[in-house]
Every structure is written in C-alpha cells, then in structure tokens.
C-alpha cells in the first residue's frame, strides 16, 4: 500500500528559489535554455530541450543524434549540465521557480521526484504511460517516479547495491556465499583466522557522513522486513531501525569483521581497498566491477544480493537517474516521445553496452550479446526484482542528512545506536512540523 506523504515545507527549494528568481532568463552563454514559448510553424520541427548531466562516454549524444536523424517533426537540443548533483539542483530550481518552459525534458536524481512534484514542477505522464507500458520496467524504476498515486517519471538507468565477494577465498575453504549477516560474519571470521593476514579484513561498506551511510542503514532495515514509515509518518527510531544500526555497528565492535575505517569510507575508498586484495566482502555498486580490471583480484570476484537478517529477504537500494517532463513545457507530448525513445529496448541496450549503465527495462537483460559484454548481468536480475527505491519524500535529503549524521556517530564510536536514532527522530520531527 502506498504510504501517505507527510506535508513538509521545502526549505531547500525555497532557499534556492529566493536566490534564483532574480536572475532572469536561465539562458546563459547560449548553452542553458532557449525559450520555445511560441510554437513553431507547422512545417518546422518542434525543438525539445533535454537537460542532463555530462555523459563522459559520449553515448547520450550519439543517442540524440540517432533520434534526430530518424524524426522529422521533433528535434532534440541537448542542454549539458554539470555532473555534480547539487549544481544541477541549483539550475533546476532557478528554471522552474521562474516557470521557465524549458528544458522540456530532463533527468533528476532518484531522490528528487517527490520534491519536484510537490513543488509543481513535474508533469504527470499517466496519459502516456499506462499499466502495460510500465510493466516493461523493474518495479523500483517505476516506484521512484510515483508520487501520490500519479506517475511523474521513469528511471532511465539504474544502480543497485550488491555484495562483492572473493570467489578464490571462498573456494579455497569450501565456504558458501553468505545470504544472511550471521553467515557473512561466520564466513569472514573463519577466513580471517585461517589466512592470518593483518592486511585482510572481512567486510567493507560505506559509513562516512554521506548518503551511503543512509543507504546502508536502509538496506539493513529492509533486510529485516522493516520500514521507515509508521502509520504514514516517518519513524527512524523504531525497534527494527535501532536493530538495523546495531547490526551495522556490531560488524565493527562485536564481530570485528569490518574495520573502524568504514566510518570514514566512501564507495571509491572501498573499491581501492578491495582491489588491493585487502577484503573478503564489499558492499558497492556494480560499476565497481569494471574498476577491478587489472588489479590483484581480477577474475577472482563474484557478486550476490546484499545479506539480510534471519527470516527475511534481501532488498538492495537503487540509485540512478529519472526522466521527467517540465510542467511548464509547451511541448509535453513531444517530450514524451523523446522519453519513450530513450526508454526503448534498442536505446537501453546501446546505453548499457557503450556506457556500462544498468537498463531500467527488464527485457534488455535477456539479450545474449549484452550478457556476453557484461557478465555480471547474469546475477543482477534477481537483485533488481526485489530492489527498493529510497523513500519517496519531499524533503528526503534533509531526512537523510539527519540519519547519516547519527549513523556515522555510532560507527565512529561516539554514540550508541538507540540514542543516535532517537536524536535523528527529534531532528526529523522538527523538520516535518
């Protein structure tokens, strides 16, 4: 059942808006936007401005070129944004608070749709994307764009948390890939004892005061059938929420299979340590797999679902970016045609093959050429099927900051889990007033 969204004041957006509304037209240096408030003559193609972060692979521009060469009545104009999400947020806030009719189509981080929809910036796409069309996608790719039972976007490409493991070490000691946290602890302790290598640790994860700390906590919470909602209200200090944080902390303090350094580590830090052969297990994103080429562990690594608590099941958190249409655009129908093109089987396959991004369309995973080019995709469908998007909340980022701060204090030994989440709850309650 879809939870009711709490009514929250959008402090971040309003702050940015105050600074941005006086800046006038967002068309700067000819690279930002060009107004298409007046519809072109019927003989001219409709120009759809599409805003997205810079794509280092070059695949996005090739995809746009394919669209433009095969469509006479619509042409895409690419508005390249910075790669840093916060800088993109500033651009979007400036444009949409001033009700700019461009960009027509754009990409948002997975944590933004609820905030953008609540601000009145997104156009619903229900008239274009019916239930049968939405079935083409992984559940999380649809859920992330649904706000108050209206569909405001669809995920264009995805990320999902997975467990990396050293196949060579598990095979050496004839040990199974762990499915629960208890099993991961037991396997880690046995290998650590037998290897007797001071450089080797059991399990690496993201515990620094970043979004990764919130994501790891959510995966532990979901992995014991927990949720952050209680009767429609956000509640992080539930019994299961506290137990989730205790399990994370015990990996460091009690079980001693994770190093204290996880309290300052991010995904890249973890990948560097794992690639040097200094860990048995690691929680990370699939993109880390390609970074292991040419390292000590190349050819010795497998991936699996994130562990869960006994009697529950694994639910990984998703990441990635979502296609959405500007509510103020004068060309919503044409913007949908562009979105639909990007979400076609052919374009999703090309994006995956040439840019190593995870498709949001289920069918693409069955392509034999894709499986050959990206071997880890054999294991991903089972993970994707049960993956969850982060809570669809207007001010998710503010809530996440409270959680990640308190999680980090626990992992760094400065607080106990119960007190930490009680304090996080107090901060969140204050923000939700």
Q: Side by side, which strands form the sheet with 318-325?
A: 74-81, 46-53, 105-109, 318-325, 153-160, 358-359
- Tell me the pLDDT tens digit for each residue of 33-69: 434 444 444 579 999 999 999 998 999 999 999 999 9
Average per-residue pLDDT for the chain: 90
373: pLDDT strictly greater than 60: yes
Q: Which residues contact 300 (CB under 8 A, 6 or more apart)?
A: 166, 167, 168
Look at residue 419 in the predicted model and tell me its pLDDT. 98
Q: 280 vs 20, 191, 260, 306, 336, CA distance in Å?
A: 48, 8, 16, 14, 45
Query: Do residues 6 and 234 make contact, with C-beta atoms less than 8 angstroms apart?
Result: yes
pLDDT band at 30 (very low <50, low <70, confident <90, very high): very low
Query: Mean pLDDT throughout 333-340?
Result: 98
Look at residue 422 in the predicted model and tell me its pLDDT. 98
Out of 12-16, 215-219, 289-293, pick the least confident: 12-16
The partner residues of 105 in beta bridges, in order of sequence, read 50, 325
Look at residue 14 in the predicted model and tell me its pLDDT. 35
User: What DSSP designation does 396 have?
Assistant: H
- Tell me the pLDDT tens digit for each residue of 278-291: 999 999 999 899 89
Out of 230-239, 271-280, 319-328, pick the least confident: 230-239
Nearest to 92 by CA among 11, 16, 9: 16
Look at residue 29 in the predicted model and tell me its pLDDT. 36
Locus of tokens 């264009």: 156
The partner residues of 159 in beta bridges, in order of sequence, read 319
Nearest to 425 by CA among 402, 392, 400, 398: 402
- What SS3 class is residue 145? coil
Nearest to 386 by CA among 322, 333, 317, 293: 317
Look at residue 81 in the predicted model and tell me its pLDDT. 96
Query: Mean pLDDT throughout 323-342?
Result: 98
Q: Strand ranges (DSSP E) for 255-329?
A: 279-284, 301-304, 318-325
- Tell me the pLDDT tens digit for each residue of 90-99: 999 999 999 9
pLDDT band at 22 (very low <50, low <70, confident <90, very high): very low
Q: What are the backbone dihedrals phi and psi of residue 122, each rounded to the nearest 5 degrees, phi first? A: -105, 140
- Tell me the pLDDT tens digit for each residue of 135-150: 999 999 999 999 999 9
Distance of CA 406 to the CA centre of its chain: 21
Look at residue 25 in the predicted model and tell me its pLDDT. 36
Element (H, E) at 326: none
Look at residue 21 in the predicted model and tell me its pLDDT. 35
Query: Do residues 54 and 130 make contact, with C-beta atoms less than 8 angstroms apart?
Result: no
Query: Mean pLDDT throughout 333-343?
Result: 98
372: pLDDT strictly greater than 90: no
User: What DSSP designation does 3 have?
Assistant: P
Look at residue 31 in the predicted model and tell me its pLDDT. 36
Tokens for 170, please give them. Answer: 């598990």
Q: Side by side, which strands form the sheet with 201-204?
A: 201-204, 279-284, 162-166, 301-304
207: pLDDT strictly greater than 60: yes
Distance of CA 206 to the CA centre of its chain: 14
**96 vs 16, residue with greater confidence:** 96
Side-chain half-sphere of 79: how many Cα atoms within 13 Å?
Answer: 25
- CB neighbourhood size of 197 (10 A): 11
Rounded Cα–Cα distance for residues 71 and 372 (Å): 32
Tokens for 231, please give them. Answer: 């009767």
pLDDT band at 235 (very low <50, low <70, confident <90, very high): very high
Look at residue 26 in the predicted model and tell me its pLDDT. 39
CA torsion sign for 263, 310, 288, 106 is: negative
pLDDT band at 432 (very low <50, low <70, confident <90, very high): confident
């Amino acid at each position: 059942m879809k939870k009711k969204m709490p009514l929250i004041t959008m402090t971040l957006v309003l702050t940015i808006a105050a600074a941005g509304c006086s800046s006038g037209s967002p068309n700067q240096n000819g690279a930002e936007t060009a107004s298409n408030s007046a519809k072109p003559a019927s003989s001219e193609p409709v120009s759809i401005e599409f805003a997205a972060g810079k794509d280092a692979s070059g695949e996005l521009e090739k995809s746009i070129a394919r669209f433009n060469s095969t469509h006479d009545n619509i042409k895409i104009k690419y508005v390249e944004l910075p790669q840093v999400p916060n800088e993109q947020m500033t651009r979007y806030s400036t444009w949409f608070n001033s009700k700019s009719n461009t960009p027509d189509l754009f990409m948002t981080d997975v944590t933004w749709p609820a905030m953008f929809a609540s601000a009145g910036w997104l156009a619903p796409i229900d008239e274009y994307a019916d239930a049968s069309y939405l079935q083409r996608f992984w559940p999380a790719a649809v859920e992330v764009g649904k706000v108050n039972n209206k569909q405001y976007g669809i995920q264009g490409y995805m990320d999902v948390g997975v467990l990396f493991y050293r196949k060579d070490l598990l095979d050496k000691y004839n040990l199974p890939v762990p499915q629960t946290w208890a099993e991961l602890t037991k396997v880690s302790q046995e290998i650590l004892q037998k290897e007797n290598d001071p450089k080797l640790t059991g399990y690496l994860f993201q515990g620094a005061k970043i979004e990764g700390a919130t994501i790891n906590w959510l995966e532990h919470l979901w992995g014991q059938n927990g949720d952050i909602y209680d009767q429609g209200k956000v509640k992080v200090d539930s019994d299961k929420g506290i137990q989730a944080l205790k399990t994370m902390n015990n990996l460091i303090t009690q079980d001693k299979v994770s190093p204290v350094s996880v309290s300052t580590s991010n995904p890249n830090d973890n990948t560097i340590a794992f690639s040097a052969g200094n860990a048995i297990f690691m929680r990370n994103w699939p993109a880390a797999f390609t970074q292991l080429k040419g390292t000590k562990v190349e050819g010795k690594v497998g991936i699996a679902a994130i562990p869960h608590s006994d009697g529950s099941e694994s639910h990984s958190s998703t990441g990635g970016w979502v296609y959405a249409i500007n509510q103020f655009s004068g060309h919503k129908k044409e913007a949908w045609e562009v979105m639909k093109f990007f979400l076609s089987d052919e374009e999703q396959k090309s994006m995956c093959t040439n840019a190593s991004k995870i498709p949001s369309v289920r069918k693409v995973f069955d392509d034999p050429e894709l499986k050959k080019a990206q071997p880890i995709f054999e294991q991903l469908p089972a993970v994707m099927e049960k993956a969850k998007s982060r809570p669809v909340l207007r001010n998710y980022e503010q809530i996440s900051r409270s959680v990640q701060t308190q999680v980090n204090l626990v992992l760094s030994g400065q607080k106990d889990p119960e007190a930490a989440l009680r304090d996080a709850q107090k901060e969140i309650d204050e923000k939700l007033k």
